[in-house]
């Protein structure tokens, strides 16, 4: 799978996904730090990448319709420290083999994942 990691996540998110065999670029890698959400969205669409972010704006399906993307994963966590984010990501990654992300928005918290098409 191909992922784009937003600037609001620890760099270790990219490392964890790469170790699992995924193709990963970060917003930092591509000098997109500070870019508007619409720019990040367009780059993800152009590159056919799944965006992983803490930015709740990407959970607005009117602005970012899931069908227009290869996938959106928005973490809505009570804590955003590195250890906690990586722990939730590890649990979420277990679903990648069984659940398609294409055209879907996953809203991930500590206890569940809501999927919207």
CATH code for the domain in which residue 43 is found: 3.40.50
Q: Provide the number of structural domains found in the chain.
A: 1
pTM assigned to the model: 0.95
Give the burial class of 25: count Cβ atoms within 10 A of its Cβ; 0-12 exposed, 13-18 middle, 19 or more buried. middle
Instruction: Label residue 70 by pLDDT band (50, 70, 90).
Output: very high
Report d(CA 101, CA 5) in Å as an integer: 15
* Enclosing domain of residue 37: 2-116
* Number of alpha carbons in the 13 Å side-chain half-sphere of residue 28: 9
3 strand-pairing partners = 24, 50
Instruction: Label residue 92 by pLDDT band (50, 70, 90).
Output: very high
């Amino acid at each position: 799978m191909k992922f784009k990691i937003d600037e609001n996540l620890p760099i270790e998110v990219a490392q964890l996904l790469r170790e699992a065999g995924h193709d990963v670029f970060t917003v930092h890698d591509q000098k997109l730090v500070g870019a508007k959400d619409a720019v990040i969205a367009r780059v993800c669409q152009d590159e056919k990448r799944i965006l992983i972010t803490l930015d709740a704006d990407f959970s607005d399906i009117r602005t970012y319709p899931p069908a227009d993307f290869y996938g959106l994963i928005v973490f809505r966590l009570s804590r955003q420290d590195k250890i906690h984010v990586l722990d939730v990501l590890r649990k979420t990654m277990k679903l990648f083999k069984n659940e398609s992300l294409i055209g879907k928005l996953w809203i991930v918290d500590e206890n569940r994942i809501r999927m919207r098409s």
